[in-house]
Amino acid sequence: MSEKLVANGTLQWNAADELLVLPEQLTIDVLAGLLKTQNWLSLPVKQVDFSQVLKADSAILAVLLTWAAHSEERLTIIKLPDELQTLVKLYDLDGEFHFI
C-alpha cells in the first residue's frame, strides 16, 4: 500500500491504491452529512478499510453497494466489524465483496 494517504476531514483517501480508510463513526446520522460534505460517492473506491471504525450501522452497506456497482472487480473490504458481517450474511451480500 502506498504511504501517501490524503486526509479529508474524517476520512483518508489513497488515490494510488484506490483505498478509503473510513472514520470512527458510520451511523445513519453521521453518514448523511459525510456523504454530502466529502463527496464519497464520486471516489473510484476499490478498497475500503474499516480498521478505525468504532460504531457503524446498516447505512454504510448502501454506500458499499454503490461503490461495488461502479467497480469492474469486487470491492475489497478490510476488517469489516462483526455487526456488519452479520448483516452482510443476513442480506446474502457475501458474493458482492472480497473480505480481508
Give the tens place of pLDDT for each residue, 9-28.
467 899 999 999 999 988 99
List the domain range (segments joined by +) for residue 78: 6-99
- Say which CATH number the domain at 86 has: 3.30.750.24
Residue 1: inside a domain, yes or no?
Answer: no
**Three-state DSSP class for residue 97:** strand
Residue 54: inside a domain, yes or no?
Answer: yes
Residue 91: inside a domain, yes or no?
Answer: yes
Give pLDDT, residue 1.
38
- 32-73 residue pLDDT tens: 888 888 778 888 999 999 999 999 999 999 999 999 999 899
Residue 2 scores a pLDDT above 80? no
The dihedral built from the CA positions of residue 40, 31, 71 and 16, taken in this order, carries a sign that is: positive
Give pLDDT, residue 40.
81
Number of domains into which the chain is organized: 1
Grid cell at residue 59: 447505512
Give pLDDT, residue 10.
65
Confidence of residue 4 (pLDDT cuts 50, 70, 90): very low
Confidence of residue 30 (pLDDT cuts 50, 70, 90): confident
| Block residue for cell numbers 494510488 | 16
